[in-house]
Amino acid sequence: MSRTLIRGTRITGLNTLLSRITGLVRDQAIAAAIGLGAASDTFFVVYAIPNFLRRLFAEGAFSQSFVPVLSEYRARRELAEVRGLVADTAGTLGLVLLAVTVIGVLAAPAIILVYAGGFAAQGGDRFALAVEMFRWVFPYVLFISLTSLYAGVLNSYQRFALPAFTQVIQNVLLIGVAVGVAAHSSRPGPVLAIGVFISGVLQLLSLLPSVARLKLFSWPRWRPRAEGVKRILKLMVPGIVGSSMSQLSLLLNSAISSFLAVGSISALYIADRLMEFPLGVFSIALGTVILPSLSAQHARQDSQEFSDTLDWALRLTVLLVAPAMIGMLFFSGPMVAAVFGFRKVAAGGIAGIQMASYALVAYSWGVMTFSLIKVLAPGYYARQDTKTPVRAALIALAVNVSINVGIVVPAVWFGFKSPYLLLATSTCIASAVNAFLLWRGLQRSGVLRPTQAWARLLPRVALGCAMMALLLGWLSGDLQQWMALPLWLRLLRCFGDILLAALLYFLVLYVSGLRPRDMRHGGTSS
């Protein structure tokens, strides 16, 4: 089982790494085409709205409800019944999301007014532009949700590579649109929005042949009363509430940031993109891979294997995410300067780069808590328990809203210099609360029983992080000096410094006695 999970995580992680690399290139291309300012703020806000629903329906509640039921069908029923479940779910979900899409397009002005009211309050054409772009981008939700459904089918059959690769399709298309069309257009925002629409169609179409080869594709049908669909919907409703909590906090942050200084939205977006690089490459990949395995272990009532799988995944998360957290904390300026400091961005000075680097520092420690959530949550969803994560998410949302209303809004009112940093910090605090509640619930119920391997791991990781922090703090230098370098040299030096710090981290782990065998599934060697 350990070898299967590692292989699945490696395949998914490598494809997600390619996705994140092309995603960074995509964001670079967009920033190069329209700069970091009012235009980029508008595009990133509009693009975030369907991403909210994508994470809510596709990556959130739906996949967490669909995969466990599909895994159970696969283990206990005939192929025809599994194929019927896929068709029933696709038809039911598709029609619901089609209705949501039509409503969203028609209600675009009201949605933008609620989501980014600052655009209307500040005047100019930003509000009208946002509405136009939103109407092109919003149908992406329908296509990417169906893509997630068929990706869940492939993942349940241990086909991880192609589902993880689909995001690359969107990234490559948007890079081409940004460089080849938007950069030369008088209206680059709508051009990019049309590119998002087309990419959603292509992502969906890319998965259908593989699903057909498994003999699981048939014409979608509307059957909300089918037994499997009813079970998925029963699990999905509380899952939507739970998934929406973290997304609502992001929506609240965006609504507040639309009233802040120009560039605040872009700074938070860039920092979030850099933070999601390790999150997507490893944590989301690991969570995706362990969910089918945990679901199968629960169906077999193998509680010890279930606990060992979760414990192993958590240890692997701490081992690999900790150095990423340290890198963002102590090397934020060079990272932002290397990835986004060029052309139109650099032409306006380094203020935008500085803002984004500060935001990355504020987000840095949240990469660990967000990662733990991605690994802990499958421990509930695999057991078809969607209510407990909802309670944890509600509490986390209450914390986030309390900080935003009680601290961030007054800070904006009284002229605090960088209120966007408080938004990032409040999001991280809420995620820490969420992760703690999920962990405590699994331990109290006896589902998660930590092994002795933690005693070997934690001191060595702490030592490795300390040494890495000292090296990166020395290498980071002054942001002005980094920006004075040619872009290619910035990228080369940034990559080299990060590689050197990573080598130091793993060398410290090795010298202090940690060996690869200690990270095997259920490993407890002393």
Rounded to whole angstroms, how far apart are CA atoms 497 and 503?
A: 10
Rounded to whole angstroms, how far apart are CA atoms 394 and 365?
A: 21
Q: Which two tokens stand for residue 245?
A: 């909590």
Q: 85: how many CB neighbours lie within 10 A of its CB? A: 26
Question: In the prediction, which pLDDT does 12 show?
Answer: 64
Contact, 129 vs 188, CB < 8 A? no
Q: Which amino acid appears at position 295 of this protein? A: S
Contact, 222 vs 99, CB < 8 A? no
Rounded to whole angstroms, how far apart are CA atoms 254 and 420?
A: 10
Question: In the prediction, which pLDDT does 318 show?
Answer: 94
pTM of the model: 0.69
124 sits in the region (left: phi over 0; alpha: psi -120 to 50; else beta) called left
Burial of 241 (0-12, 13-18, 19+ CB in 10 A): buried
- The ranges of the chain with pLDDT < 50 are 1, 344-348, 523-526
Q: How do the domains of the chain map onto residue ranges?
A: 2-519
Q: How far is CA 249 from the centre of its chain?
A: 14
Separation in Å, CA 22 to CA 160, 175, 268, 513:
19, 8, 19, 37
Rounded to whole angstroms, how far apart are CA atoms 479 and 477?
A: 7
Question: In the prediction, which pLDDT does 13 show?
Answer: 61
The pLDDT mean for the chain works out to 82
